[in-house]
Structure 1
Amino acid sequence: MTILYGVIVAAVSIAAAARIRVAAFAVFALFVALGFGILTFMKGSPILDANISGIAFLLVMEISYIGGVFFWGLLRRARRPSAREAIADPSRTQGK
């Protein structure tokens, strides 16, 4: 079940990289990792295991976010500019 949570957290982090700023995501990631650590502790695991679980989720989220930033950046650079984004008044060039 923990692997499923990790995959979901990674997918959400990659999707968040397209829209959320770094500072906002850092706060979000801390709260989610803290929540997973508390959840692990409440299931009866020792405090050390809960801390390691929370840190592992935090690492997965941050690495996925950084990967998502690179992915969305490459996707933005690769797409062709639309006619709407074209320059309205191109500069004049010297004729012959």
Structure 2
Amino acid sequence: MLKWTAHAAAAHAAAAHAAAAHAAAAHAAAVRAPPQLATGPADLVRAEVFGGLFAPVDRSTPAEARIEDRLDLPFDCHKCQAEQRR
């Protein structure tokens, strides 16, 4: 039979408290940024989002690929800066 000492009981309680605190922190992180629904490009085209001016990414030719790369650059820069400021 195992005997619990006051020290062992305190250590067990501390471990249980730490586990509960870790679980609470994980839950808080999960609800801080809840999932959001997003539609795919085909749905946006079909719904004529932005008055029909939206089109899916087209990299079928070198010229189209260059245009898409230029359109991606400002967004990528903004995204990197936002991540750096976290």
TM-score (norm 1): 0.34
Greater helix content: 1
TM-score (norm 2): 0.37
Structure possessing the higher relative contact order (Cα contacts under 8 Å, 6 or more residues apart): 1
